[in-house]
Amino acid sequence: MSMKKFPMTDPTQALAHFAATLSFDAIPDDVVRRTEDLFLDWFASALAGKASRPVEVIARFAESMGPDGGPSEILIHRRGSSPLVAATANAAASHVAEQDDVHNGSVFHPATVVFPAALAVAQAIGATGRDLLTASVAGYEVGIRVGEFLGRSHYRIFHTTGTAGTFAAAAAVGQLLKLTPEQMRHAFGSAGTQSAGLWEFLRDAADSKQLHTAHAAGAGLTAAYLARDGFTGARRILDGPQGLAAGTSSDADARRLDDGLGTRWTLAETSFKFHAACRHTHPAADALQQVLREHRLAAGDIRAITALVHQAAIDVLGPVVDPQSVHQAKFSMGTVLGLIAVQGRAGLAEFDTHWRDASVRALHDRVTMQLDADVDAAYPARWIGKVRVETTDGRHLEATVLEPKGDPGNTLTRREIEDKALALATYRGGASATEMQRVIARVWSLADAPSVEHFLAAD
């Protein structure tokens, strides 16, 4: 089942060759099953984006720029359009509930850029379910390695899902379009020159995060189609003297680009998100739940909470001092831990209903983040959760979580994935429970589908 490592001295060439030549039969069965899991998780996350204001703005714009009808399915609106329009809308929709997957080592959300582009094109060209799964694996393997290559310095300023995401989408679509390795490399060049996404939006509670994924999926798709038609891109877009790393990273490592291609399946390393918040809050949230459970504490018993974190958590969450929207609150360590303490969980309903409650706000003001050397040294390969809790009666309690819920070593079962998918799909009426059960059945048999039809009936 495994593929041989490519004997190429140029890692970009090796990456392009892998993405262009990957076959379904070369993918281990457990990786195929994991791809189905991740696809269902993404599909439901996209439905949960229905009625979100920023998502609807992007979707309306995309639809106004495309045909009224087409082969590719816009999930939240149950209508067809062109592949570009559908990929753009679905990518925006799947990244707002903060429930889509994440790969720890690259600090990258693959599903929200890979699956929208792959599904849209698969539906447009009449691809099989196996074709869709193969393309998705190619997208994950490329995007994750680009994220790892760009390193921690890149992520401090740039939203890696927006930047590496263009390569991931290009790889997935290029696989479906049967690009040659040389064409795939050109697609990477065009994808990389369009990559974008800055963290500054968090300071203003701006809507940019959904634009990052919408743009990445659309730009990657565009790059692949252009390459098929002979359009050329920079051959060293990643590691050239004026390439992506030169402009956006100080610790880029080109060895990460072809690390274990065909033997190390990074898709299988991807984590599911359990809490409906930025992943940087999850380790501390799990550790706080452990303290509350083991010591039978209530919110009123807590005087102060210290989350011991890695530097990237401080970089991303630190600017959110006084959240002004539900989405911005999902990037507030104080709000997330406040919801955990007061409500017992930080899910979709808790954020919608309680993020501004006085009791949650009171806990928010008692939370601080502190850089921990051991936690930071383990990151990004491992996201360790550590908290210290001071109680009102003077006790000092601690907890450490080595693998947050959803990580590969503490993953969700298929039943838990199904339950999560049902909750997301019905959250804002994206689909009924009955409809979602039918979607689930189709996803579990996707490898046998002769073509990828629309999943939801038109309203």
For the stretch 63-86, pLDDT in tens is 999 999 999 999 999 999 999 999
Helix, strand, coil shares of the chain, percent, nearest 5, are: 55, 10, 35
Backbone angles phi, psi at 114, to 5 degrees: -80, -55
Question: How many other CB atoms sit within 10 Å of the CB of residue 69?
Answer: 9
Please enumerate in sequence order all residues whose Cβ is within 8 A of that of 141, keeping only pairs 6 or more positions apart, or say none.
Answer: 18, 19, 22, 171, 261, 265, 266, 267
- Amino acid at the residue 433: A
Mean pLDDT of 169-174: 99
pLDDT at 4 over 60: no
Token readout for 47 is 């439905």
Taking the alpha carbons at both ends of the chain, their separation in whole angstroms is 42
Max Cα distance, the chain (Å): 71
Q: Which residues pair with 391 in a beta bridge?
A: 302
Residue that has been written with the tokens 């390393």 in this structure: 269
Query: Quick one: pLDDT band at residue 459, thresholds 50, 70, 90?
Result: confident
Q: What is the pLDDT of residue 335?
A: 98
Mean pLDDT of 19-41: 98
Q: How far apart are CA 176 and CA 357, in angstroms?
A: 48
Token readout for 420 is 């999560």
Please report the DSSP string for 83-143 in residue order: HHHHHHHHHHHTTSSS-S-BBTTTTB--HHHHHHHHHHHHHHHT--HHHHHHHHHHHHHHH
- Sign of torsion, CA 210 213 217 223? positive
Q: How far apart are CA 429 and CA 129, in angstroms?
A: 26
Closest CA to 275 of 205, 342, 344: 344
Report the CATH fold assignment for 279-405: 60s Ribosomal Protein L30; Chain: A; (3.30.1330)
Q: What is the pLDDT of residue 356?
A: 96
Compute CA 105 distance to the chain's CA centroid, rounded to the nearest angstrom.
13
**Mean pLDDT, rounded, of the chain:** 96
* pLDDT cut 70: percent of the chain above it: 98
Q: How far apart are CA 405 and CA 388, in angstroms?
A: 19
Q: How far apart are CA 260 and CA 70, in angstroms?
A: 39
Query: Quick one: pLDDT band at residue 9, thresholds 50, 70, 90?
Result: confident
Query: Quick one: pLDDT band at residue 313, thresholds 50, 70, 90?
Result: very high
Q: How far apart are CA 349 and CA 328, in angstroms?
A: 15
Measured CA distances, 216 to 118, 163, 169 (Å): 13, 7, 7
pLDDT at 6 over 90: no
Q: Could you state, in order of their start, the residue ranges of all structural domains in the chain?
A: 11-269, 279-405
pLDDT at 26 over 50: yes
Instruction: Decide: 42 and 112 in contact? Cβ < 8 Å.
Output: yes
Query: Quick one: pLDDT band at residue 8, thresholds 50, 70, 90?
Result: low
Q: How far apart are CA 212 and CA 204, in angstroms?
A: 16
Whole-model pTM: value is 0.95
Residue that has been written with the tokens 């693959």 in this structure: 110
Query: Quick one: pLDDT band at residue 13, thresholds 50, 70, 90?
Result: very high
For the stretch 418-443, pLDDT in tens is 999 999 999 999 999 999 999 999 99
Q: How far apart are CA 303 and CA 311, in angstroms?
A: 25
Q: What is the DSSP letter of 54?
A: H
Question: How many other CB atoms sit within 10 Å of the CB of residue 44?
Answer: 30
pLDDT at 287 over 60: yes
Q: What is the pLDDT of residue 217?
A: 99
Query: Quick one: pLDDT band at residue 384, thresholds 50, 70, 90?
Result: very high
Measured CA distances, 313 to 96, 330, 333 (Å): 19, 13, 9
Q: Which architecture characterizes domain 11-269 according to CATH?
A: Orthogonal Bundle (1.10)
For the stretch 117-157, pLDDT in tens is 999 999 999 999 999 999 999 999 999 999 999 999 999 99
